[in-house]
Amino acid sequence: MFGLDDNIAAMGAGEVFAVVALIAILLGLRHATDPDHLAAVTTLVASDEPDPRRAGRLGFTWGLGHATSLFVFGVPIVLFKSYLPDAVQTGAEVAVGGVIIALALRVLVQWRRGAFGPNRHRHGTPARTPLQAYAIGLVHGMGGSAGVGVLLLAAIPNHVEALSALVLFAFFTAVSMAAASTTFGFALSRGPVMRSYLTLAPAMGILSLAFGLWYSLGALNAVPYVF
């Protein structure tokens, strides 16, 4: 189309890999905008102190956990076109929905205990640790919302380039999740938002809970599923 194929064919090996690397980076940077990731990161940050820097650290460690699973399960696909059995993939998707549900329930429990009112420091539950965020990311990374990106990388004939692109894709997935969580943490730390947080917190929890239930049921083909 528009001579694009001819232009790519005329490129040298280094130029082709530069294009591949750019695509992998862009795929990673947009990965945090998938609905399941947005649902997870909002409830992850909402259940913690509304501090942008801390939110960014939590998001990045969550993203690193996600990237670890993405790389571990992506290598066999890229090298050997070896995919997880359907039953395992379905179980992984159900687990992702379970993580979203658990995060949503934590927000709702905190709200019920008065953690988001004027005395939130006094009544709040313990903050998330980076290790917990990493573990959540490990489970979330087992899901298939990154499947399209991995399949594109698996089409690269050179295994070294494909693996390099997978590393870039996984790493910039973590970067995008850190950016998303930092942005959300910054929004929550603003005065007007903090003053209305008592109302916003349960709304976010309920929406994420509904999304997590739908996601899990969708993985079991019990409801329409678009991921």
140 Cβ neighbours under 8 A, 6+ residues apart? 36, 37, 40, 62, 65, 66, 69, 96, 99
Task: Using alpha carbons, list the distances in angstroms from residue 131 to 42, 152, 187.
Answer: 18, 31, 24
Confidence of residue 80 (pLDDT cuts 50, 70, 90): confident
Q: How far apart are CA 175 and CA 157, in angstroms?
A: 27
Q: How far apart are CA 162 and CA 146, in angstroms?
A: 15
* Cβ-contact 52, 129 below 8 angstroms: no
Domain residue limits, the chain: 4-219
Q: How far apart are CA 216 and CA 193, in angstroms?
A: 31
User: Per the structure block, which two tokens stand in for 210?
Assistant: 């509904």
Q: How far apart are CA 135 and CA 8, in angstroms?
A: 40
Lowest mean pLDDT among 95-109, 143-157, 211-225: 143-157
Residue given tokens 């862009």 in the structure block: 26
83 pLDDT exceeds 90? Answer: no
Q: How many helices (H) and strands (E) does the chain have?
A: 11, 0
* Cβ-contact 215, 227 below 8 angstroms: yes
For 139-184, what is each residue's pLDDT tens digit? 888 876 556 677 777 778 888 888 888 899 889 989 998 888 888 8
Q: Which residue has the higher pLDDT, 17 or 9?
A: 17
- pTM comes to 0.78
Lowest mean pLDDT among 16-20, 69-73, 83-87, 117-121: 117-121
The predicted model gives 4-26 an average pLDDT of 64
**Cα-only R_g, the chain:** 19
Q: Which of 64, 37, 33 is nearest to 208 (CA)?
A: 37
User: Per the structure block, which two tokens stand in for 102?
Assistant: 């658990």
Residues above pLDDT 70, as percent of the chain: 78
Q: How far apart are CA 2 and CA 81, in angstroms?
A: 31
